[in-house]
Amino acid sequence: MLEGLPIITDRLILNPFAESDAPFLNQLMNSPGYIQYIGDRGIRTDEAAAVYIKEKLMLSYEERGFGFYIVRLRHMDFPIGLCGMVKRDNLETIDLGFGFLDEYAGQGYAYEASRGVIKHAIEYHDVTQLIAVTTEGNLRSKKLLEKLGFAMQKKVKWNDGEDVIQYHIDLE
């Protein structure tokens, strides 16, 4: 059961992904910023994006009751990114993550969506701490995480062997 959804902020609405969101997810995952800072997931078609939604995103909703949500502009019902939280096997606690189309970066949307997800995590999932990871060169994400109250914790090896920086926040 996905309690407390949608997440509504001043400018945004966050909902679980549906398979019909595949064209947007394909576009997002192939945007230059996503590939550079989050990684190339090998999604090249809307069909592959639909499978990813079903096998990864929807599975997280079923198993954990949360996951990554599609972020839309409220006034236009237009998708611009994703934001949410996941429990990854290689990290000790729940991870906050976000990614936005390049043309919507730097406008406060990631901050607004992340604040909504954090509030949701506290109110509906009793989350008391979160982590987030980013690459050394992703200055926007580092700045955003610090603005949200996260503190740099340590460097960790990511699945592909790359060093990433892990941030942490206590929500109590």
Can you give the residue ranges of every domain in the chain?
A: 7-170
- Residue range 7-170 forms a domain whose CATH class is alpha beta
- Rounded distance, CA 167 to CA 95, Å? 9
Joined tokens for residue 25: 């997810």
Q: Which residue's structure tokens are 């506290």?
A: 122
Residues 6+ apart with CB under 8 A from 87: 60, 64, 93, 94, 95
Q: What is the pLDDT of residue 114?
A: 98
Q: How many CB atoms lie within 10 A of CB 62?
A: 10
Q: What is the pLDDT of residue 89?
A: 82
Q: Residue 70 forms beta bridges with which residues?
A: 15, 82
CA 95 to chain centre: 9
- Rounded distance, CA 26 to CA 46, Å? 6
State the pTM of this model: 0.94
Q: What is the pLDDT of residue 172?
A: 80
- Rounded distance, CA 72 to CA 120, Å? 17
Taking the chain (172 residues) in runs of 10, the rounded mean pLDDT of each run is 90 98 98 92 96 96 96 95 92 93 96 98 95 93 97 85 90 86
Q: What is the pLDDT of residue 1?
A: 60
